[in-house]
Amino acid sequence: MAKKPVKRLSDYQAPAFFVDTLDLHVELHDSATLVTATSRLKKAGTDSLLRLDGEQLELVSLELDGVAVEPRFENDQLLLDVPGEGAELKVVTRINPEANTALEGLYKSGGAFCTQCEAEGFRRITYFPDRPDVLAVYTTTIVADKALYPQLLSNGNLVASGDLEGGRHFATWQDPHPKPCYLFALVAGDFDLLEDGFTTSSGRDVLLQIFVDKGRKAQARHAMDALKGAMKWDQDNYGLEYDLDRYMIVAVDFFNMGAMENKGLNIFNAKYVLADDDTATDQDYDAIAAIIAHEYFHNWTGNRVTCRDWFQLSLKEGLTVFRDQQFSADWAGSSATRIKEAQVIRTNQFAEDAGPMSHPIRPQAVAEMNNFYTVTVYNKGAEVIRMLHGLLGKAGFRAGMDLYFERHDGQAVTCDDFVDAMADANDRDLTAFKGWYSQSGTPVVNVAEHWDGSQYSLVLTQHTPPTADQQQKGPLPLPFAIELLGHGRQVLQLDGAEQRFELGSFAEKPVLAPLCGFSAPVKLVFEQSDAELAALVEKASDGFVRVDAAERLLQRLVEAWLKGEEHAALDLWLGALEAIAKGPLQDAFLESELFKVPGIMAMQGWFETIDLDGLVAARDRLRQAVRERCFGALKARYQEVQGLADKGARALTNSLLALLAENLPEEVARRYHQAANMTERQGALAAAVAGELAESEALLAEFAERYQDNPQVLDKWLMLQGQRAGALERMDQLSRHGAFNWQNPNRTRALFGTFIAHNPQCHTEAGYAWLGLVLPKLDAINPQATARMVAPLLQWRRFDAGRRAQLEQLLTALRARDSLSADVGELLDKALA
């Protein structure tokens, strides 16, 4: 197995050399691109040993101040002694973009060249100090065939361009802002272009350009509007303006993640750019706006102020996710926005904490950095920023941000620098709060209530169970927002392991709604009565509390079912749903969440050991119970909203249809065929598939035919195929289907990723045998994408004895393979430790 040495935060050393300027000259050819990199080096301390990173490069020549030098190698580094205070370094390398299926460094997506350098992809372009604390001013010249690649793009401003011999042409770009190499980007292709403009608050006219595949220009309109919305929002809310004359976005179909914030030249997964009503759901529209905003916001939180080292990733990612969440809440938000954010933490992040990949939002040891672009670093990181925002208030948080930029603009800094700016701007001691950066695991908050006939008080205690990476835990300061039904809301600040809160005198015992708005990323243990929980589902004023109360009821119920017992929670839950459905429609988004049966993934998080068969049976039984008991009320609500042309109504209609599909097969088919947009069409199709309706086969075939020319839409089809009952038997055929492509991570994630994460059939003997064949094949193509897909299997120890044994065997055999990537290897090392 390929191994990467584990790096530790505590071993950080400042670079020996800075790079003032970097001139890149890139001669593009499909299989032999020539890169000439000329850098002006400046000694940073006393050490004269220069370390350059490089992977999968052919070194053509190496010169220091015009004199050829002999390279010395140590693992993936090239070492050079540089006498004096600095020198000019010229490195020429040859690379093969066409063979680059890992999609890191320079590669081809369809007919175009593009790059992905974060975290450590620049070292696949040239030898360079590939670390975020080396900031240089870049000048990039691209040379390529003019007919095939009429558009040549890189960071910053276009300073020269022209024709060359042999049908080739060139363009030279200059980026005046010093940046780390992970923000470098280059694109060459033949795209359709949507242009617009934005004038910043200080009067700078910015040209906005979105480059998309031919014929897709109209589908970039929504992304463009979101970009303009984000630019204005950041000015209005943080006083942050754009700092170049041009902002470019390129949409490509081959891309490992969502998007990348390269300075002035974002590269996006086409999935997060292209949309129109016929091809994108309401959810797609929202995700596009959120990611467009996220990458734009990075221009300040990430690019102008960047990370000292990759352990600090949450410095830019947690903060930028928080900012995009704020933007989304303002721009397109609904009552379900916060509920969905909480679901990501409770389903995905808590699972990460409960498994072998547990790490603090600032990890302490990393082998393959790409493995740490996690829900912990991103989403829990955002929750930590959200708590800070709550603690300091809007104005205090803004003062902290202002001070952060005043102190650190143009620098590469640490999470401590960020918290210190927040503390200093507000004259607060945030030492204890910093524990959120160094401690992994999910705090468990225990709630005990006391009511003596008049005085009502709460005792909150917290403890964090040990995690795979860290045994010792301490209490963390956390805001615990509560509502006493009918008596208003307040925030209790829990600072220690145990605290008592006197809440006043009450003639009747008040009903407590805990953790309003999911005020802290914690688990709740609270022996609240079933009846109170049912009351919360119906009456709490906080949407998260309502959904959470339903979940706590269901957890009790499923726990009883798994033991072969019955539980009164069933009646209470059904009663609450029925009462809501019979009441006047108040909030369609919220109802759309309440009328969902939790998925298997969410249910897995309720228990330490995973009884997969029991959970599948429980889920099906819940769906059936709803149909039996609440059909009339839910159908009436369905009829009330199904014809309405608004987003909330569409969300609610889709939830109801998914619940009632088995009882309404004709209506499912009718809605599919008469759909006015993709939200309706996909909702109906998903309901047919989840309900395993006889109609689903024909509807899936119709869908594949209708969208045969649109790979992004066909990913929706592949996802449904991946989660369908009996998917495994169709895998071979599906992976040979024209909609599928082994080298495209969107396709493999849609079909295989969905199957692995969401289809219980994956956890059968045949499923494991299939994994044993498919994972090595995927890993040889794209390690980063494969590592992401493997994540759910890392939880193997939590399954029943039979599955545990089979999974251990599968993972052990995988780990023993010589050709295994460092990416997957790191995960398996941890999982099997």
* Positions marked active-site: 295
CB of 294 to Zn ion, least distance (A): 5
Residue 119 touches which member of Zn ion, ligand B3K, none, C-beta under 5-8 Å by kind = ligand B3K
Q: Which member of 151, 219, 370, 464 binds ligand B3K (CB under 6 A)? A: 370
Where do the H-state alpha helices sit in 429-511?
Answer: 435-438
Q: Which member of 43, 222, 263, 294 binds ligand B3K (CB under 6 A)? A: 294
CB of 116 to ligand B3K, least distance (A): 7
Q: How many CB atoms lie within 10 A of CB 697?
A: 12
Closest to Zn ion by CB, 213 vs 295, is 295
317 binds ligand B3K, rule: CB under 6 A: yes
CB of 244 to Zn ion, least distance (A): 19
Which residues ranging from 722 to 761 are in contact with ligand B3K (CB under 6 A)?
A: none
Burial label for 167, CB within 10 Å (0-12, 13-18, 19+), is exposed
| CA pair distance 240, 269, nearest whole angstrom | 26
**What count of Cα atoms within 13 Å lies in the side-chain half-sphere of residue 587?**
16
80 binds ligand B3K, rule: CB under 6 A: no
372 binds ligand B3K, rule: CB under 6 A: no
On whether the CB atoms of residues 460 and 445 are closer than 8 A, the answer is: yes
> Which tokens is 747 given?
């396709």
CB of 120 to ligand B3K, least distance (A): 9
Closest to ligand B3K by CB, 294 vs 803, is 294
DSSP strand pairing (444-451 vs 498-505) = unpaired
Sole window of 32-40, 54-62, 219-227, 257-265 interacting with ligand B3K (rule: CB under 6 A): 257-265
Closest to ligand B3K by CB, 177 vs 803, is 177
Q: What is the helix (H) or strand (E) element at residue 45, kind and residue range?
A: none
Residue 118 touches which member of Zn ion, ligand B3K, none, C-beta under 5-8 Å by kind = ligand B3K
| CA pair distance 451, 455, nearest whole angstrom | 6
Closest to ligand B3K by CB, 386 vs 546, is 386
**What count of Cα atoms within 13 Å lies in the side-chain half-sphere of residue 689?**
25
Query: Residue 787: is the preceding peptide bond cis (ω within 30°)?
Result: no
Residue whose C-alpha is closest to residue 194's, from 238, 142, 150, 247? 247
Sole window of 37-45, 293-301, 471-479, 794-802 interacting with ligand B3K (rule: CB under 6 A): 293-301
Closest to ligand B3K by CB, 382 vs 572, is 382
Residue burial 468-481, b: 16+ Cβ < 10 Å; e: rest = bbbeebebbbbbbb
175 binds ligand B3K, rule: CB under 6 A: no
CB of 284 to ligand B3K, least distance (A): 18
| CA dihedral sign, ordered 798, 800, 801, 806 | negative
Site string for Zn ion, 280-319 (x = CB under 5 A): -------------------------------------x--
Map tokens 């099906």 to a residue.
620
CB of 267 to ligand B3K, least distance (A): 10
φ, ψ (nearest 5 deg) of residue 113 = -90, 140
Which residues ranging from 81 to 120 are in contact with ligand B3K (CB under 6 A)?
A: 118-119
257 binds ligand B3K, rule: CB under 6 A: yes
Sole window of 25-33, 254-262, 539-547, 603-611 interacting with ligand B3K (rule: CB under 6 A): 254-262
Residue 434 touches which member of Zn ion, ligand B3K, none, C-beta under 5-8 Å by kind = none
Closest to Zn ion by CB, 191 vs 373, is 373
Closest to Zn ion by CB, 97 vs 745, is 745
Residue 695 touches which member of Zn ion, ligand B3K, none, C-beta under 5-8 Å by kind = none
DSSP string, 104-149: -EEEEETTEEEEE-TTTTGGGTS-B--STT--EEEEEEEEEETTT-
Q: What is the helix (H) or strand (E) element at residue 240, kind and residue range?
A: none
CB of 412 to ligand B3K, least distance (A): 15
Map tokens 């980026």 to a residue.
175
Query: How many residues in the shown chain lie near ligand B3K by CB under 6 A?
Result: 12
On whether the CB atoms of residues 275 and 287 are closer than 8 A, the answer is: no
User: Under DSSP, is residue 571 helix (H, G, I), strand (E, B) or coil?
Assistant: helix
Cα-Cα end-to-end distance for the chain: 16
> Which tokens is 50 given?
């220069």
373 binds ligand B3K, rule: CB under 6 A: yes
Interface residues with Zn ion (CB under 5 A)?
317, 320
Interface residues with ligand B3K (CB under 6 A)?
118-119, 257, 259-261, 294-295, 298, 317, 370, 373
